[in-house]
Amino acid sequence: MTEKNPLSLQLKVEDFLPATDAEKQSLTQMRPGVSFWKDAMRRLRKNKVAMISLTVILIVMFFSFIVPNFYPYQYELQIKGSEYLKPMTYSTQEQLRIDAGEKVFPHILGTDNLGRDYAVRVMVGSRISLMVGLIASAIILLIGSTYGAVSGYFGGWVDLVMMRIVDIIYTVPDILLIVLISFAIRDPLAILAAKPGFGWIQTVGPNLISIFLVFALLYWVGMARIVRSQVLALKQNEYVTAARALGAGTGRIIRKHLLTNTIGTLIVTTTLQIPSSIFTESFLSFLGLGVAVPLPSLGSLASDALNGLNSYPYLLMAPALLISLIILSFNLLGDGLRDAFDPKMKS
């Protein structure tokens, strides 16, 4: 090894005086500690794709939940003589009213075969799709996380039995059973709805209820598995032992320690569950097993549009593009959340 010093240094006595702690400190910048939440949110905000997706979701929600309430047309309103209007056109009657000086709100996306304003139908349709996605995910979250947490926490034979049940449900081809269940319970629900006290079933729609029922019965297993494995991993952690030693009860441990620590995973899984539920609902609606007429959903709108595809392709494009956009946005937001909550989990 060579001794080298390209420039000869001029050294002074003061240089060899001991440095103060303050001087030493100035060299080591400590990064301030940030809380888990703040850190995750900061990462999420920096993720452009996720933020754009979130914006798209909020805009779609605004148009599907709020705008239809103030919209000049109702989704079930059939305007005689306005069948199959092209976007931004008016029927002869409407044209006459305009000529008479009346103001007529344009049919932005035209009208369908029964003369219903298509824009409001698409908006209400996406409301149904979003509602199904959100409610179904909430149900899945509730059942799945409880089941998984209980199974993982107690372990032993409880875990064994509970997980065998999950295994069986997991290997069942779910779409097949969903089709079957929604088909089979359609009639019994309709009968039940006719009875006094069950009128609410009619309001919500028997098909929607059967969809929720199916989700509640089948779709929670994925969530249960994830939560269980998280709980199993956390159970080994020392702070749980510490909490136990301090006399915390089982319920408290599950709530306070385990669930708060799995919250990141829960948020991510639920967010990714939403598009998958919307997907399934649209699938069923497309097959005619979804929402009841005249209520539209994006799937049934697309299915209806198929009949007039040659002449009225725009009737297909609006719901098709919208549902793709919604599912895409939720997927991307979910990916963003996953990256934000657990940078290591990055796929």
Partner 1 sequence: MLKYIIKRIFLAVMTIFVVATITFFLMNMVPGGPFVAEKSISAQAQAALHEKFGLDKPLIVQYKNYMLSAAQGDFGLSLKQRGRTVSDIIISKFPVSAKLGGIAVLLALSLGIPLGSIAALNRGKWLDDVIIVIATCGIAFPSFVICTVGMYVFGVYLGVLPTMGLTTPAHYVLPVFALSFYPTAYITRLMRSSMLDVIGQDYMRTARAKGLSQMASLFKHALRNAILPVITYVGPMLAFTLTGSFIVEKIFVIPGLGGQFVSSIVNRDYTVIMGTTIFLATLVITINALIDILYKFIDPRIQLK
Partner 2 sequence: MNEYLVEIRNERLSFFTPAGEVKALNDVSLHVREGEVLGIVGESGSGKSVTSYSLMGLTAHPGRLIGGDIYFNGHHINKMSERELREIRGNEVSIIFQDPMTSLNPVFTVGNQIREVILMHTNKSRKEANERARELLQLVGINEPEKRLKQYPHELSGGMRQRVMIAIALACEPKLLIADEPTTALDVTIQAQIIELMMNLREKMGMSIILITHDLGVVAGMCDRIAVMYAGKVIESGTADEIFYQPSHEYTKGLLLSVPNINDREHKQLVPIEGLPVDMLNPPAGCPFAPRCRSCMKICLSTMPSYTKLSEEHYSACWLLDKAKFEGQSEVQHD
Q: Which residues bind partner 1 (CB under 8 A)?
A: 167-168, 171-173, 175-177, 179-181, 183-185, 187-188, 191, 275, 279, 282-283, 286-289, 299, 302-303, 305-306, 309-310, 313, 316-317, 320-321, 323-324, 327-328, 331-332, 347
Residue 102 touches which member of partner 2, partner 1, none, C-beta under 5-8 Å by kind: none
Tokens in use for 219?
């779709």
- Do 226 and 147 meet the contact criterion of CB atoms below 8 Å apart? no
CB of 13 to partner 1, least distance (A): 51
- Do 302 and 118 meet the contact criterion of CB atoms below 8 Å apart? no
Check residue 93 for interaction with partner 2 (CB under 8 A): no
CB of 55 to partner 1, least distance (A): 17
Q: Of 344, 336, 343, 342, whose CA–CA distance to 44 is shortest?
A: 336
Residue 167 touches which member of partner 2, partner 1, none, C-beta under 5-8 Å by kind: partner 1
Residue 199 touches which member of partner 2, partner 1, none, C-beta under 5-8 Å by kind: none
CB of 203 to partner 1, least distance (A): 22
What's 257's DSSP letter? I
Check residue 24 for interaction with partner 2 (CB under 8 A): yes
Check residue 22 for interaction with partner 2 (CB under 8 A): no
CB of 86 to partner 1, least distance (A): 16
Check residue 346 for interaction with partner 2 (CB under 8 A): no
Q: Of 85, 76, 125, whose CA–CA distance to 104 is shortest?
A: 85
Check residue 29 for interaction with partner 2 (CB under 8 A): yes
How far apart are the C-alpha atoms of 205 and 182, rounded to whole Å?
12
Tokens in use for 51?
């933020």
CA atoms within 13 A on the CB side of 280: 25
Question: Interface with partner 2 by CB under 8 A: which range of 17-25, 50-58, 87-95, 162-170?
Answer: 17-25
CB of 230 to partner 2, least distance (A): 24
CB of 167 to partner 1, least distance (A): 6
Determine which helix (DSSP H) or strand (DSSP E) holds 217, and give its type and residue range. Answer: none
Cross-strand partners of 117: 111
Cross-strand partners of 111: 117
How far apart are the C-alpha atoms of 313 and 332, rounded to whole Å?
28
How far apart are the C-alpha atoms of 48 and 13, rounded to whole Å?
55
Residues 6+ apart with CB under 8 A from 222: 144, 170, 269, 273
Question: Interface with partner 2 by CB under 8 A: which range of 18-26, 79-87, 324-332, 334-342?
Answer: 18-26
- Do 314 and 87 meet the contact criterion of CB atoms below 8 Å apart? yes
How far apart are the C-alpha atoms of 245 and 231, rounded to whole Å?
18
Question: Interface with partner 2 by CB under 8 A: which range of 3-11, 217-225, 253-261, 292-300?
Answer: 3-11
Q: Which is nearer to partner 2, 48 or 195 (CB)?
A: 48
Rg of the chain over CA atoms, in angstroms? 29
Q: Which is nearer to partner 1, 179 or 204 (CB)?
A: 179
How far apart are the C-alpha atoms of 216 and 66, rounded to whole Å?
28
Please give the size of the binding site for partner 2, defined by CB under 8 A. Answer: 23
What's 249's DSSP letter? -
CB of 335 to partner 2, least distance (A): 18
Tokens in use for 158?
């409880």
Q: Which is nearer to partner 1, 131 or 181 (CB)?
A: 181
Among 9, 100, 176, 245, binds partner 2 (CB under 8 A): 9
Which stretches of the chain bind partner 2, using CB under 8 A?
1-5, 8-19, 23-25, 27-29
